[in-house]
């Protein structure tokens, strides 16, 4: 009669499950990052005359994570999102265009992970 080592069998199945989970998480990260970049390119409440700022949104893979950044006008993102002081006094209007996309990314990522792992 063949002898089964229970500990080895459990370890083998857990390893297979963990690789499936890692693959699902990587796919979910990529999917949500691409969707976020698409939304950032489409959304804005300000006049972008040349379209350069909108076209500059990119996804960059750093290790196992994805970073969303503006490649053309990185320093402009904070100024547009939060507003800034004007030369003649006063403040410019804030155009919150990153915060809604960030909230969408959080909810979508959680939903996708729950769906794939259930």
Residue 79: pLDDT over 60: yes
Gap between the Cα atoms of 68 and 87, Å rounded: 30
Interhelix angle 6-42/99-117, nearest 10 degrees: 150
Tens of pLDDT, residues 21-49: 999 999 999 999 999 999 999 986 677 78
Q: How high is the pLDDT of residue 7?
A: 86
What number of helices (H) and strands (E) belong to the chain? 4, 2
In whole numbers, what is the pLDDT of the chain averaged over residues? 90
Mean pLDDT within 56-82:
93
Instruction: Tell me if 40 sits within 8 A of 98, measured CB to CB.
Output: yes
Q: How high is the pLDDT of residue 44?
A: 65
Mean pLDDT within 87-101:
93
Percent of the chain with pLDDT over 90: 67
Q: How high is the pLDDT of residue 98?
A: 93
Mean pLDDT within 10-22:
89
Mean pLDDT within 5-18:
88
The structural domains of the chain, with segments of one domain joined by +, span 22-117
């Amino acid at each position: 009669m063949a002898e089964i080592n229970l500990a080895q069998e459990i370890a083998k199945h857990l390893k297979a499950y963990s690789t499936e989970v890692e693959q699902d998480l990587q796919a979910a990260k990529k999917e949500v990052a691409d969707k976020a970049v698409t939304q950032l390119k489409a959304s804005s409440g300000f006049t972008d005359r040349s379209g350069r700022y909108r076209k500059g949104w990119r996804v960059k893979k750093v290790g196992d994570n994805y970073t969303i950044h503006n490649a053309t006008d990185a320093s402009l993102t904070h100024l547009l999102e939060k507003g800034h002081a004007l030369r003649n006094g006063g403040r410019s209007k804030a155009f919150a265009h990153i915060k809604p996309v960030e909230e969408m990314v959080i909810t979508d990522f959680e939903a996708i992970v729950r769906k794939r792992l259930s």
